[in-house]
Amino acid sequence: MHKPQALVPERIRNIRQCTFGWIDHDFLHRGYLGRLSQEELLLYYFLITVADRNGVSFYDYERICQGLKLELNDYLRARDRLCEQALIAYHNGVFQVLSLPPPEKFLSPRPPERSARGDFQTLQEVLKNVTR
């Protein structure tokens, strides 16, 4: 398989020359990218960007909401959901972006499946699939 070359070689990213922040490839491969809401992804990426090398940051909610153009309730929901998914820890204004949990641990259920018509499945259809 042919490996693509850098399009602009003089601008190749180098972690040694920048401040800290990265997204683990497993974030995509374990399905987090598709499972998280837009607000959750936005907050997660923000926290990765502002975190120090230990994943720690302490931006207050007003600054986060203003910078990300999020309503307070959307921010709170995203923050709580990221904590539930064990992607971040939060306490008294301090955030920590955590290493990804083991593959099978802390994963939320898949989004509801849609029927052939494109509608969400009925409870009866869901239960029929569970008993298979």
Q: Domain ranges in the chain? A: 22-103
**Residue (of 19, 20, 80) closest to 44 by Cα position:** 80
Task: Compute the average pLDDT of residues 70-91.
Answer: 97
The pLDDT value given to residue 106 = 46
Whether pTM exceeds 0.85: no
Tokens 């926290």 belong to 47
pLDDT one-digit tens code per residue, 46-58: 999 999 888 999 9
CA angle (35 as vertex; 31, 36 as ends), nearest 5: 120
CATH 1.10.10.10 fits 22-103, yes or no: yes
Name the E strands within 6-106.
56-57, 88-91, 94-97
pLDDT one-digit tens code per residue, 15-28: 676 666 778 888 99
